[in-house]
Structure 1
């Protein structure tokens, strides 16, 4: 039962007790006790120590005694729904995460309380692991049971560098969304919403292509620079969309909300 479900008749003492219990459960999410992840799991030690070669042998060598059940061992969960990928995140083993991702695991899987690998890395302040996960296109907007993004969890645990990185990642995602929306605008109008003039269609596609290339060639761009690029894209595309026969309300709500 969550805090908002506590009956009013319980009084302040009951509310305080529930709050303390919630905090204890939260700390359990951050705990790294080996018995939770299973001490007999042969993948545990290489995952915690960063032994990528050892993990690859288990997954790729048919002669390895654990090869047949490698994926099952990797996805084996503890009582709160964490598998060995969470242990690797807690330990800050970025190379292990990258290596295991090649075997088709779901990097957006959640625990019983809604925590993703990104939430876990953020709580533990594992900046390099956060970077690896973002490079692997995990969902940075996923919410836990508190309706928190990974960025919010990092802020709650005062992981300043992680907060700054996730803000930067969110800015890049925002620009990518703008590019996708404006590119889709061309496709949608071709399906009957309206018709672009050829030069207008090319202008939109060229602007989107230019911003996509800018993102690829400026991996270290600041948040301010990213927002500037997004504004430039909007300034280019908005007048073109405004000329379309579709109602202004359609364009405003559908294409300019991020």
Structure 2
């Protein structure tokens, strides 16, 4: 593994959070954060955020170990899921390198940035491919396609809601059609069971086709 996704070097459990985090002991983690002598959780957070020589905190090791329940528990304490090492590696990159599929799913659910890149310009899915973690790569491709559809829907909705952009360019029917198309796609996202990556791609392309004449109008001087 590259340094930033390589195994943590600790040989002893000097950090009291390390053992429960790496063994999936959610209750043990919670007990440290619930220490009555540390009512604001400052000491516990310092233990959690204490970084090693290449800029990884305890959450990185937890992701490498695939302890999804611990990751979810720690997220409740306000941990930054977008954190990066000095070379740009994220929690997603580390989980992908180690083939921790369930942890990847947890991180994506917690809104970790799928598109974040390392200093080499690699996304987490690229790291997964490099280390032949096929299931992880497939999931990240699926998640990225889903996010792309969501992003387009949000972009259309924000554009139609912006009076400066639509003033004098779109009529009532244009706006209604655009918002209706977004509702249909949002409903599809909400209700479709087990959609594939290609399903997301197709739905996004369909929305783009619907919106093409609208965006053409908006682009006119």
Q: Indicate whether the TM-score tops 0.5.
A: yes
1:138 and 2:91 are equivalent in the alignment: no
> How do residues 75-114 of structure 1 correspond to structure 2 at under 5 angstroms?
75-114=49-88
2:36 is matched with which residue?
62
Residues 94-134 of structure 1, C-alpha deviations (whole Å, 9 max, x = no match)? 01111100111111111122110000000000000000000
Q: TM-score, normalised by structure 1?
A: 0.79
1:32 is matched with which residue?
8
- Structure 1 pair 30–186 and aligned structure 2 pair: CA distance change class (3 A): same
What CA distance in whole angstroms lies between the structure 2 residues aligned with 1:197 and 1:66?
Answer: 54
> How do residues 150-189 of structure 1 correspond to structure 2 at under 5 angstroms?
150-188=124-162
Q: TM-score, normalised by structure 2?
A: 0.91
Do 2:5 and 2:93's aligned partners in 1 also have CA atoms closer than 8 Å? Answer: no
1:194 and 2:167 are equivalent in the alignment: yes
Q: Give 1:193 deviation, angstroms.
A: 4.9
- The partner residue of 1:230 within 200, 204, 217 is 204
1:217 is matched with which residue?
191
Q: Give 1:60 deviation, angstroms.
A: 2.6
| Structure richer in helix, relative to its length | 1
Residues 178-218 of structure 1, C-alpha deviations (whole Å, 9 max, x = no match)? 11221122133x11553322222121112112212221223
Unaligned runs of 5+ in 2: none
Do 1:58 and 1:66's aligned partners in 2 also have CA atoms closer than 8 Å? Answer: no
2:99 is matched with which residue?
125
Unaligned runs of 5+ in 1: 1-22, 251-258
Do 1:122 and 1:162's aligned partners in 2 also have CA atoms closer than 8 Å? Answer: yes
Do 1:57 and 1:64's aligned partners in 2 also have CA atoms closer than 8 Å? Answer: no
Do 1:121 and 1:127's aligned partners in 2 also have CA atoms closer than 8 Å? Answer: yes
Q: Give 1:33 deviation, angstroms.
A: 2.8
Do 1:194 and 1:246's aligned partners in 2 also have CA atoms closer than 8 Å? Answer: no
Structure with the bigger RCO (C-alpha within 8 Å, sep 6+) is 2
What CA distance in whole angstroms lies between the structure 2 residues aligned with 1:239 and 1:146?
Answer: 38
